[in-house]
Structure 1
Amino acid sequence: MKDQVLKIKVPGKLFIAGEYAILEEGQSAVVIAVNRYMTGEISPSNYNELHLPQLGLTNIKWYEHGTDIQFNLESSKLSFVKNALKTVIQFLKDKEVKIDPFSLSVESELGDEDGKKYGLGSSAAIVVTVVTAMLHFFKNDKFQPTEELIYKLSAIAHYYTQGNGSCADIAASTYGGWLKYSMFDAAWLNNHINKGTNLLHLVGGRWPGLEIERIQPPSELHLAVGWTGKAVSTAPMVQSIQQLRTHNFNIYEEFLNRSKQAVSSLLESFRNNQTEQAIVSLKENRKALMRLGELAAVDIETPELKTLISIANRYGSGKSSGAGGGDCGIAFVTNKEHIAKLEEEWHQANIEPLKLNVSLEGATVTVIKKEQ
């Protein structure tokens, strides 16, 4: 499609249940894609250029330097994009696809116009946007850009950058909808990356532990999302939890067991269309996370999140979403008519209701212009 201009649309994400535990073998999480999007546009160009206007980075030129990517300016904001470019270029070369210069622009609505960050997975979404754009732009009879391929290349790019993480956000942005997610063996992936395993072999094979399954919530279950007004960095939160894991695994294992039971019960409620069981299961996952926070001396639930959850519990159940410490909280509500009342109470308590719905589509591509 190198003669076409493509538009890419990639949703953000929210965790519903299974946070922290998802990093361990045999654990599952429930994650959703939300209808706030990262958008990209890719088109032919005389040279490789990148535009990220919301980051104040436009007209960035880049070129290949051996197996690395060099930009005409240095910025830490480009690390995820750099490794996404690097990963897809290596894949295309391994497929013997000719890589012509292109222009790629990426914009985000995962925050708001004032620069507020809601914790909707912008790092994952930009990687998925770059990977999706390039795979579809250069696709030919040698490969097809499936969801699995987009996910795996995006996860590899993420691990090039960060070396850890569940990549549940990448799954949500790629596949869309409600997902049951179990992560791959992180040590296995890092080992293959570090020893330089052939990329075609790596993306073509089975990833130990990885499970991505679309699921359907109970028909009478309704989701509401509130923002605490405080953005949070996930990495320090995860690091504190990992210290508990290292120094007191027996206690940490109690959390894993409680989280697994809660998530399993939630998934069962989805399978059986049991709204009340879903409400209770979310409460149980919240209790497990509260106990984890106490044991690790980490404020997974800030005062603002406690307020959000307390109000949510009057209409169903609530909990933090993601790492906690700020960002968003969620509510399961049984009566759709109660959502307006819930959101009004949140608003009065300085919790910002976010008009988010589940994005049933993941990464999508549209041809917006055919070059003559």
Structure 2
Amino acid sequence: MVAVDQFIRVSITKSKTSTGLIHSKQYSQDSIHWVRRGSKMVIDNRDNPFEYILSAISFTERFCIEQNIKMKVYDLHINSDLDSADGKKYGLGSSAAVTVATVKAILRFYGVPFSNELVYKLSAVSHYSVQGNGSAGDIAASVYGGWLAYQTFDKKWLEAELNKKSLSEVVNEAWPGLKIELLTPPKGTKLMIGWSQKPASTSRLVDETNANKAALNGEYKKFLADSRQCVLKMVTGFEENNIALIKKQIRVNRKLLQHFARINQIAIEIPRLSKLINIAESFGGAAKTSGAGNGDCGIVITDADTDTQALENEWRRNGIWPLNFRVHQITLAQ
């Protein structure tokens, strides 16, 4: 046995947040996040897609068993277009999408008739059991497709119901607070997506927000109330075919998020996302961060007067990658 002059170097620095990171340049797609609970180090698996797949299998099979269906052994193959070719995450809600796809696949495998509502609820339970926070809006988008007005359900109610009732009973109930409405965009409306080329984590950003929620109770309630009014006005824009009103509320939402980030001392709009938004605004688009912020994507609403090609070219010159995706309408058969 002999040692050679090739080395591994490990450095350690104090984390700037409540979440720790174990990262290797050689295994950049397998970074591990962890939190401290008392003196114990607890691994955070919420960014591991297999956690969501296994949860979706577990809850969907539990539902099937309650329908007296005999369980079988199967192979489950997954292929995704939601990340780049080299495995980098765009931040398009891949954990939600893989949860929904797994739920649908298992229901079809066992021959269980299903509605969009059933798929949404089984997926939401599965996803929430792993992530422990978030709105499940990306679940709704994956199930229903198109443009949606979405209001999340009461999480405490759901937890209480799952503890005392069967899964079948829970998914057949009306969920307090839940509202999903399909919208039709005004003619000429276009959605553009720019990628900052920096990944972000929704679950950890929500963790940081929840840590400050008690201390900022009044501000938090005001943020929720103002955001609700913003969304309602935006829905009115869709209903009245008023793209100017939609764009105005996108800008209002951005300001609300910027204020929310300041009072919580968290990063939502990193410099590259600010640049993405400012470039879009200079071409007449209305833009904001998407999802968790602090990386990933920004979205832009444009109308027929926007020179989208020139906008994309300016993005590229500033290190922002346009994602050529279109809004997708989903039918139940998909």
Pairwise TM-score range, normalised by the shorter structure: 0.7 to 0.9
Whole-angstrom CA distance in 2 between matches of 1:361 and 1:77: 23
Q: How many residues align?
A: 289
Q: 2:231 aligns with which of 259, 263, 267?
A: 263
Distance 1:327 1:224 in 2: 14
Q: Which has the higher strand share?
A: 1
In structure 2, what is the equivalent of residue 341 of structure 1? 310
**Alignment CA distance shift 1:149-1:295 (3 Å):** same
The answer as to whether partners of 1:173 and 1:363 remain within 8 angstroms in 2 is: no
- Per-residue displacement from partner, 1:237-270 (whole Å, max 9, x unpaired)? 1122223321011122222232122211111100
2:14 is aligned to none
Classify the secondary structure of the residue corresponding to 2:75: strand
Aligned-partner SS, 1:98:
coil
SS where residue 58 of structure 2 aligns?
helix
Counterpart in 1 of 2:328? 359
- Looking at structure 1, the residues matched to 331 and 298 of structure 2 have their Cα atoms a distance apart, in angstroms, of 22
Q: For the residues of structure 2 that align with 1:165 and 1:234, how far apart are their CA atoms?
A: 7
The residue correspondences of 1:180-199 to structure 2 (distance < 5 A) are 180-193=149-162, 195-199=163-167
Q: 1:126 to 1:119 in 2, by over 3 A?
A: same
Match for residue 126 of structure 1? Answer: 98
Aligned to 2:275: 307
CA distance change for structure 1 residues 84 and 333 in 2, over 3 Å: closer, same or farther?
same
Partner Cα distance (1:181, 1:213) in 2: 6
1:168 corresponds in structure 2 to: 137
The letter of the residue matching 1:150 is V
Which amino acid is 1:97 matched to? I
Q: What pairs with 1:102-113 in structure 2 (closer than 5 Å)?
A: 102-113=74-85
Q: Report the Cα offset of residue 335 of structure 1.
A: 2.4
Tell me the CA shift for residue 97 of structure 1.
1.5
Alignment of 1:91 with 2:63, yes or no, is: yes
- Equivalent residue of 1:293, what SS? helix
How far does the alpha carbon of each residue in 1:112-171 deviate from its partner, in whole angstroms, 9 at most, with x for none?
1111111011111111111100111212xxx52111111111111112223322111111
1:172–1:362: 8 Å Cα contact kept in structure 2? no
CA drift at 1:88: 1.2
List per-residue Cα deviations over 1:258-286 (Å, max 9, x = no partner): 21222111111000000111111110011
Q: Secondary structure in 2 aligned to 1:102?
A: coil
Q: Is residue 220 from structure 1 mapped to residue 213 from structure 2 by the alignment?
A: no
In the alignment, which of 275, 291, 295 is matched to residue 322 of structure 1?
291
Q: Which residue of 1 aligns with 2:72?
A: 100
TM-score by length of 2: 0.82
Amino acid at match of 2:83: G
For residues 104 and 336 of structure 1, what CA distance do their matches in structure 2 show? 46
**Which residue of structure 1 aligns with residue 147 of structure 2?**
178
| Cα RMSD for the two superposed structures | 1.9
Q: Which amino acid aligns with 1:295?
A: I
Measure, in 2, the Cα distance between the counterparts of 1:219 and 1:119. Answer: 27
Between the aligned partners of 2:305 and 2:298, the Cα distance in structure 1 is 18
> What are structure 2's unaligned runs of at least 5 residues?
1-28, 31-46
Structure 1 residues 363 and 321, CA, compared in 2 at 3 Å: closer, same or farther?
farther
Query: Following the alignment from structure 2 to structure 1, what is the Cα–Cα distance between the partners of residues 305 and 110?
Result: 45
Give the Å deviation of 1:220.
2.3
TM-score by length of 1: 0.74
1:165-221, CA deviations, whole angstroms, 9 ceiling, x for partnerless residues?
21111111111111111111100111222x252111111111111111111111122
One-letter amino acid of the counterpart of residue 102, structure 1: Y
Partner of residue 17, structure 2: none
- Whether the 8 Å CA contact 1:128–1:363 is kept in 2: the answer is no
SS at match of 2:77: strand
Find the partner of 2:53 among 81, 84, 88: 81
Q: 1:109 is aligned with what amino acid?
A: D
* 1-structure distance, mates of 2:148, 2:187: 16
Task: Between the two structures, name the one with larger relative contact order (CA 8 Å, sep ≥ 6).
Answer: 1
Distance 1:305 1:172, change over 3 A: same
Are residue 283 (structure 1) and residue 251 (structure 2) matched? yes
Name the structure where helix makes up a greater proportion of residues. Answer: 2
Partner of 2:200: 232
Q: Residue 209 of structure 1: SS of its match in structure 2?
A: coil
Given the alignment of the two structures, is residue 157 of structure 1 paired with residue 129 of structure 2, yes or no?
A: no
Separation in structure 1 between the aligned mates of residue 275 and residue 137 of structure 2, nearest angstrom = 27
Structure 1, unaligned runs of 5 or more: 1-54, 57-74, 366-372
Alignment partners' CA distance in 1, 2:86 and 2:192: 22
168, 171, 192: which one pairs with 1:203? 171
